[in-house]
Amino acid sequence: MSEPGKGVNAGKLASNVQKRITRVQEKMMQKLGKADETKDTVFEEGVANFNKQMAEGTKLQRDLRAYLAAIKTMHECSKHLQECLSDMYEPDWFGKEEVDSITEDSDIVWEDLHQKLMDSALNSMDTYMAQFPEIKARIAKRDRKLVDFDSARHHFASIQKAKKKDEAKTAKPLTLMEKAAPSWAQGIISAHQIAQTNLNRCQAEEELARAQKVFEEINCDLQEELPSLWNSRVGFYVTTFQSIAALEETFHREIGKLNQNLCNTLIKLEEQQEIKKAVMTTGKSGAAANHNATVESDITKPASKLKPGPPVPLPPRPSPSKEVKQDDINLFEDELVPNINYTAPSQVDYWDSWETDATATTQPHAATTVTNGSSDAKLPTGVLYKVKALHDYAATDNDELDLKAGDVVLVIPYINSDEQDEGWLLGVKESSWLQNKNLTAKGVFPENFTQRL
């Protein structure tokens, strides 16, 4: 006894095999030019666009995955590098706690970038690409149903031709065999032929109608979906790359601030180490020289004629090259990380106080005068105050002033306060104003290179 459903499955399998054979025969007849093929130029253009869109999306998905893998690798490398610096940084060095904090914050910023790119870009990309396999399968099915429709159409046309031949044959005189048959048999034969022809024609017509209905249902759906899918690519590309650009901008701004803080900490560490080294070296030699001079003076001169000598020489004043401009260490776009000029306040105050004491000691009876840029002089209209250059400054851009130590600059306000960069002033050299009597030859200069008069 056969198993339930076994005959049904066998019958379905035979039907599928027969369909494949019929499709192969139909495609062969079409290629040989013996059968016409239904063409739809608009649909074929839509399929070409679909294939192009799917290829572009596949490449974008692959490159986006590679980009995220590279970010993950870069994150790990950056983390190891920061941890290496933190491990080497000795506990008694300046800014140890800040270096450790920067290491932790950098790791968080990298992790945040990777996770948000996964959520907003890669997941959206996967969802976008998930629709292509299903539509591709429906296009392939539509092509198969089109072959079935053409085959049914050709079969019905051949039945129609056969019917016309049978009708023409019935109108002809009977053959000898047909004449030899009894009259009642001749009628049965004719009726059977007509019935068979009508049956085949009805079956072919039903098969054609069924094949046409299936094809048109799939074709109509795809005619609507393909153009819509093709137009959706613009919005998807815009959203995807806007999201990536915004996340990268935020990441670079935050990581740039952390890198700026790290650079400032390392600069302070280097300056402190240099100061300690200079104080230790100069302090020892200066103390010995001062001790010898005092002993010799006590021996050769009366106590009533002794005069106080100059203070013990201090380490040389740091050159302007110790001051760091943002252009030297900026890692990203100027608008992402503001310009920062750094000069250790304690060190500047220290040298200013030393110069004041040295002047008061070596020239006790000299009168204090201002030969250039006196604060008592009346300032020109539009000038806020005057400053004096303490160091030489070489301009690095067309809108900057070249300064020499001792130059006096008239500081003027910015027309738009939003244009002023932190640590930078706008002004005109006093010598230029005295010569031209106008403030047109203006330019910007670093504030920490000057001293207000």
Would you say residue 15 lies in a domain? no
Average pLDDT over residues 410-434: 89
The type of residue at 384 is L
Q: Decide if pLDDT at 282 tops 80.
A: no
Of 261, 284, 302, the residue at which a domain comes to its end is 261
**What total number of domains does the chain contain?**
2
Would you say residue 161 lies in a domain? yes
Of 233, 261, 289, the residue at which a domain comes to its end is 261
Query: Higher-confidence residue: 4 or 70?
Result: 70
Would you say residue 358 lies in a domain? no
Residue 103: give the domain boundaries: 22-261
* CB-based contact 26:150 (threshold 8 Å): yes
Specify the DSSP element, H or E, that contains 427: strand 424-429
Residue 412, beta-bridge partner list: 426
Report the distance separating Cα 160 and Cα 201, nearest Å: 7
Of 214, 239, 261, the residue at which a domain comes to its end is 261
Would you say residue 212 lies in a domain? yes
State the angle between helix axes of 41-88 and 131-171 in degrees (0 to 180), rounded to the nearest 10.
160
Q: What letters, b where the CB count within 10 A reaches 16 and e where it falls short, cover 237-269?
A: eeebeebbeebeeebbebbbbbbbbbbbbbbbb
Q: Decide if pLDDT at 243 tops 90.
A: yes
Report the distance separating Cα 180 and Cα 390, nearest Å: 137
Query: What digits encode the pLDDT tens for the residues 185-231?
Result: 555 555 555 556 666 677 777 888 888 888 888 889 998 999 999 99
* CB-based contact 425:436 (threshold 8 Å): no
Would you say residue 375 lies in a domain? no
Query: Higher-confidence residue: 55 or 214?
Result: 55
Residue 256 sits in the same domain as residue 124 = yes
Would you say residue 118 lies in a domain? yes
Query: What digits encode the pLDDT tens for the residues 389-407?
Result: 999 999 888 889 999 999 9
Confidence band (pLDDT; 50, 70, 90) for 297?
A: very low
Instruction: Please give the pLDDT value at position 160.
Output: 73
Would you say residue 363 lies in a domain? no
The type of residue at 184 is W
Domain CATH for 248? 1.20.1270.60
Report the distance separating Cα 61 and Cα 236, nearest Å: 12
3-class secondary-structure state, position 412: strand
Would you say residue 299 lies in a domain? no
Domain CATH for 421? 2.30.30.40
> How does DSSP classify residue 33?
T
Query: Higher-confidence residue: 195 or 349?
Result: 195
Confidence band (pLDDT; 50, 70, 90) for 314?
A: very low
341 C-beta neighbours (distance < 10 Å), count: 16
* Backbone φ, ψ for residue 387 (5° rounding): -135, 160
Q: What letters, b where the CB count within 10 A reaches 16 and e where it falls short, cover 275-301?
A: beeeeeeeeeebeeeeeeeeeeeeeee
Handedness of CA 164, 165, 167, 172 (dihedral sign): positive
